[in-house]
Amino acid sequence: MPQRTKAMHPSIEATYKAREVEGVLDLYFYRPVGFRLAEFFAQLKMTPAAVTLLAGVCGVIAGHLYYYRDLRINMVGMVLHVCSNALDNADGQLARLTQRDSRKGRIIDSIADHLVSASIYLHLVLRCLAQGFSPAVWILGLAAGISHALQGAAADYYRSTYLYFVANGARAGLDFSSGLRSEYRSCTWRQRPWDKFLLALYLNFTDQQELLAPQLRKLRNTVNELFHAQIPAWLEQHYRDATGQTFKWWGLLMTNSRMLVLFALLFIGQPIYYFWFELIPLNLLFVYLLARQEKMAESLQHLLMTPRHSA
């Protein structure tokens, strides 16, 4: 089994979506650790969904441990939080390693991520209440949690769109809300209740992403109509040049930066500021990146509509 896996995927690079969309912490810690875990789970014949479930359980427990005002307990939660992130990397790497990458797996992974985030925000709110904060902290925590969800959805959307333009292997896995809506209608609750439930969640998530970035949605639809996913080299390079520099900033809206800030605030016993970190600096960055990416998408849309490129 190890020899066959090695023959199929000679290096860790084979389990990356694309190296340029990986953060520094991912490249030098989570991806190497996740790759070793993926190889181990492959030998155990575990499915990616089982690894996703394990990651979710670790993350939900970590969130609960952040409730306690004991740094030693919080540190156990931090270890579990890191383990959850490592397993979250490993499930995708295992899927690519064993050629089991699927939409259903991506949906389940997204559900697990949302449950972990909900556990963290809920238990931080409860901790603040136990410390004597006003019940208004519920509003603060809810606003921060919604901001987190929107930022994560947009960052994931721009990353998947980048892969659509620059990585051939990612194009088949990119879904549009129109196609998903048609598939959802054809799926029945009586015959395939689980599949229809997952499709409902995925369709809602995709609708949110497209609403956040209407110009980017329009660009993707135009490209799909003109080129049918056979994107010409000039457009691929143009998109790479136009967006590549912003990925380090989108990365700040992903898991790693939040986790490091949360750990620092837990060490000083002030997790209440985690909500303000989410609501002020991250939201300001979010609005700036949305505006910049939408302007870029509109510019590319105009370029595609010129006779020389639309023919």
Q: What is the pLDDT of residue 30?
A: 84
pLDDT-based confidence at residue 290 (cuts at 50, 70, 90) = very high
pLDDT-based confidence at residue 120 (cuts at 50, 70, 90) = very high
What's the whole-number mean pLDDT along residues 189-215?
87
Over residues 294-306, the pLDDT tens digits come to: 999 898 888 888 7
Buried b (16+ CB within 10 A) or exposed e, 5-16: eeeebeebeebb
Buried b (16+ CB within 10 A) or exposed e, 139-178: ebbeebbebbbbbbbbbbbbbbbbbbbbbeebbeeebebe
Which residue is listed with tokens 């409902």? 200
The torsion angles phi and psi of 270, rounded to 5 degrees, stand at -130, 60
What's the whole-number mean pLDDT along residues 119-131?
96
Q: Which of 40, 48, 119, 135 is nearest to 81 (CA)?
A: 119
pLDDT-based confidence at residue 129 (cuts at 50, 70, 90) = very high
**pLDDT over 50 (residue 62):** yes
Q: What is the pLDDT of residue 9?
A: 45
* pLDDT greater at residue 229 or residue 292: 292
Q: What is the pLDDT of residue 224?
A: 83
What's the whole-number mean pLDDT along residues 149-174?
78
Q: What is the pLDDT of residue 32?
A: 87
Q: Is the pTM of this model over 0.75?
A: yes
**pLDDT over 80 (residue 258):** yes
What's the whole-number mean pLDDT along residues 9-25?
65
**pLDDT over 70 (residue 168):** no
Q: What is the pLDDT of residue 124?
A: 97
What's the whole-number mean pLDDT along residues 228-234?
81
Q: What is the pLDDT of residue 308?
A: 59
What's the whole-number mean pLDDT along residues 146-153?
93
What distance lies between CA 100 and its chain's CA centroid?
Answer: 18
